[in-house]
A and B are shown apart, each in its own frame.
Chain A
Amino acid sequence: MRIKAEDVEKLALMSRLELTEEEKAAYTESLNASLDYMHSLTKLVTDTVEPAVHVLPMVNVFREDRVEIGLDHKQALANAPEAEAGSFKVPRIV
């Protein structure tokens, strides 16, 4: 059940986090402590229990298909770390 450093490395990539070797080691230990604790739930037999998704019922909450004013172009890009040509700019993808 316990996770290893290479599992943490995989989780980090999936989470888009870069970890140093020391961090990997530290997280391996600390994640295992938390996971051990979380694992205590498996003591409960829950075969007949429905998973709770919404604590309060939430059904058919809709909006009408009416256009609303969004952000103006300047506002949309206001927080962009890098903007060009009216768009958000990112470094090469592959």
Chain B
Amino acid sequence: MSRYEAVIGLEVHVELKTATKLFCGCSTEFGKEPNTQVCPVCLGLPGSTGVLNKRAVELAVKAGLALNCEIGTHTWFDRKNYFYPDLPKGFQISQIFRPIAHNGYLDIEVNGQEKRIHITRAHIEEDPGKLIHTGESITTSFASYVDYNRSGIPLIEIVSEPEIRSGEEAKAYLEKLKSILEYTGVSDVKMEQGSLRCDANISVRPAGTTTFGTKTEIKNMNSFRAVQRAIEYEIDRQIELLEDGGTIIAETRGWDENKGITVSMRSKEDPDYRSFLEHEISDIKLTPEWIEEVRAALPELPDARKERLVKEHGLPAYDAGIITGSLALAEFFDAVYEKYPDAKTISNWIMGELLRLLNARNLELSQAKITPEGLAKLLELIKKGTISNKMGKEVFELMFEEGNDPEQIVKERGMVQISDEEQLAQILTEVIAQNPKSVADFQSGKKQAIGFLVGQVMKATKGQANPGVVNTMLRNMLAEK
């Protein structure tokens, strides 16, 4: 047991899934040429005025409710004043004093232990633009380019209480958060496109104490795995430093993915943002009735869906947890189940083959070619004995890569399983004749010798013989001798 306890709070920025920006009608589409989705408002041109996107408010409320937050009936926007080249107005419009949602929680499970992580607040704000550096990094660049396509894209920032204690918990928190936001349609939550970004505040303290140590803020983590690694590294770094009699400096550190370390970026001077109310943007007043309507319209959330898979289909909680952890996976499961109502078998194929291939190829489910209908047909073929389970795995991989119909694959590759006894009898007779030693071994009691003989039959049939049938027939034939 470590003598130290880590105290971790996460700040997660999530892009809301709107068609347009927070205060102007510019498109939020990802990946366009720089500065082609801009207007006077999001460029901060003199004289520009903005109007709040209604959809962004609705999505933020949805997110807040799904995270068990209280929703503010009267909230507003404030200006956070600071200078940076990617910030076109010299201030960011955010909700400093009255967030749209506060005081929520989500439940995570780590090593079979359930834990509740509280959410301090979730507020709406606009994204700044994007800097592209001419050199390798910001520190080695002689100049930078600014692209304001992202300027003004609506975000919610979700701030957790400092209740996370390990990198593993942080990862579980993020995975849960991601699936909730995905289920509610609030965000695409794609870390690689920047629609989900996470900063971690980390400090350590002697186990059993309650005061907070000096914290560092870690940035630049591009995956959940990176968040976990960065936190683990940073905890060790801080503990080592303290053990060596050093002191932690309050600073912002960046995660270096290649080196697997955090490096100091700048000291945290605690800038005075001079925040004050944004008088040019409307206040938001929500009635309790409207909030309840939104709550009632929330879709089934991950926890409830998991519960359902366990109760209705008898799936193990572990499997149900994995499947419902991703909306795409959960929907895939349901779609297969509609055609082939054998939950455990489906679950085995998803947990086994599907996830194995997705991980190996580093793909999202949407990028794989296999369809739920295809998988249902494949399971049908295996059940009927047309192909073996082993063949099925081969077919599955082809379906995953190319999306072909399983029946067609089986036909094209001549993968049909031979179960016909008459057809097999001749081959078996030949194998028995060619392997007198094995036959003798078997008959003298070395029962395992049968395996070799089955293998020979499989070889002779290029793997098409039904091994079960071959086994039974061999036993019968050798017994007769």
Considering only residues 18-76 of chain B, those with a C-beta below 8 Å from chain A are 18-20, 24-27, 33-40, 42-43, 51-57, 76
A sample of 7 cross-chain residue pairs with beta-carbon separation below 8 angstroms, ordered by A number, consists of A60-B284, A62-B54, A65-B55, A89-B143, A92-B144, A93-B85, A93-B131
> For A88, what are the chain B residues with a Cβ–Cβ distance below 8 Å?
35, 85, 145-146, 148
Stretch at the interface among A29-37, A42-50, A66-74: A66-74
Please tell me if B110 contacts chain A, counting CB pairs below 8 Å.
no
- Ranked nearest first, the 5 interchain pairs of A and B with the lowest CB-CB distance are A68-B25, A70-B39, A61-B282, A87-B145, A65-B55
> For B132, what are the chain A residues with a Cβ–Cβ distance below 8 Å?
85, 87
Stretch at the interface among B101-109, B134-142, B223-231, B429-437: B134-142
Contact status B19-A89, CB under 8 Å: no
Closest to A84 in B: B145
> For B281, what are the chain A residues with a Cβ–Cβ distance below 8 Å?
61
Considering only residues 122-157 of chain B, those with a C-beta below 8 Å from chain A are 131-133, 138-139, 141-148
> For A89, what are the chain B residues with a Cβ–Cβ distance below 8 Å?
143-146
Docked CA distance A53–B75 (Å): 13
> For B144, what are the chain A residues with a Cβ–Cβ distance below 8 Å?
89-90, 92-93
Taking the closest CB of chain A, its distance from the CB of B308, in whole angstroms, is 32
Interface size on A, residues (CB 8 A): 33
Q: A73-B35, A92-B141, A92-B142 are in contact. Are A67 and B26 (CB under 8 A)?
A: yes
Please tell me if B481 contacts chain A, counting CB pairs below 8 Å.
no
Taking the closest CB of chain B, its distance from the CB of A85, in whole angstroms, is 6
Q: A76-B43, A88-B145 are in contact. Are A62 and B282 (CB under 8 A)?
A: yes
Contact status A73-B36, CB under 8 Å: yes
Name B27's contact: one of A67, A71, A72, A77 (CB within 8 Å): A67
Interface size on B, residues (CB 8 A): 49
Contact status A70-B24, CB under 8 Å: yes
Taking the closest CB of chain A, its distance from the CB of B54, in whole angstroms, is 4
Closest to A68 in B: B25
> For A63, what are the chain B residues with a Cβ–Cβ distance below 8 Å?
25, 51-54
> For A93, what are the chain B residues with a Cβ–Cβ distance below 8 Å?
85, 131, 133, 138, 141, 144
Please tell me if A64 contacts chain B, counting CB pairs below 8 Å.
yes
Please tell me if A54 contacts chain B, counting CB pairs below 8 Å.
yes
Chain B interface helix/strand/loop/mixed: loop
Closest to B88 in A: A88
Contact status B25-A66, CB under 8 Å: yes
> For A53, what are the chain B residues with a Cβ–Cβ distance below 8 Å?
76, 277, 279
Docked CA distance A54–B277 (Å): 10
> For A65, what are the chain B residues with a Cβ–Cβ distance below 8 Å?
18-20, 53-56
Taking the closest CB of chain B, its distance from the CB of A75, in whole angstroms, is 9
Name B283's contact: one of A58, A68, A77 (CB within 8 Å): A58
> For A86, what are the chain B residues with a Cβ–Cβ distance below 8 Å?
33-36, 147
As a 0/1 sequence over residues 248 to 285 of chain B, the CB contacts with chain A under 8 angstroms (1 = contact) are: 00000000000000000000000010100101011111
> For B24, what are the chain A residues with a Cβ–Cβ distance below 8 Å?
68, 70
Taking the closest CB of chain A, its distance from the CB of B129, in whole angstroms, is 9
> For A72, what are the chain B residues with a Cβ–Cβ distance below 8 Å?
36
Taking the closest CB of chain B, its distance from the CB of A62, in whole angstroms, is 4
Chain A interface helix/strand/loop/mixed: loop
Docked CA distance A63–B24 (Å): 8
Docked CA distance A3–B441 (Å): 103
Please tell me if A2 contacts chain B, counting CB pairs below 8 Å.
no
Taking the closest CB of chain B, its distance from the CB of A88, in whole angstroms, is 4
Please tell me if A38 contacts chain B, counting CB pairs below 8 Å.
no
> For B146, what are the chain A residues with a Cβ–Cβ distance below 8 Å?
87-90
Q: A68-B20, A73-B33, A76-B43 are in contact. Are A85 and B51 (CB under 8 A)?
A: no
Closest to B276 in A: A53
Please tell me if A59 contacts chain B, counting CB pairs below 8 Å.
yes
Docked CA distance A72–B35 (Å): 9
Considering only residues 314-358 of chain B, those with a C-beta below 8 Å from chain A are none
Docked CA distance A21–B146 (Å): 34
Closest to A86 in B: B34
Closest to B147 in A: A87
Identify the interface centre among A65, A68, A86: most chain B CB within 10 Å of its CB.
A65
Contact status A62-B141, CB under 8 Å: no
Name A85's contact: one of B25, B34, B38 (CB within 8 Å): B34
Docked CA distance A89–B328 (Å): 41
> For B52, what are the chain A residues with a Cβ–Cβ distance below 8 Å?
61-63
> For A68, what are the chain B residues with a Cβ–Cβ distance below 8 Å?
20, 24-26, 39
Closest to A15 in B: B83
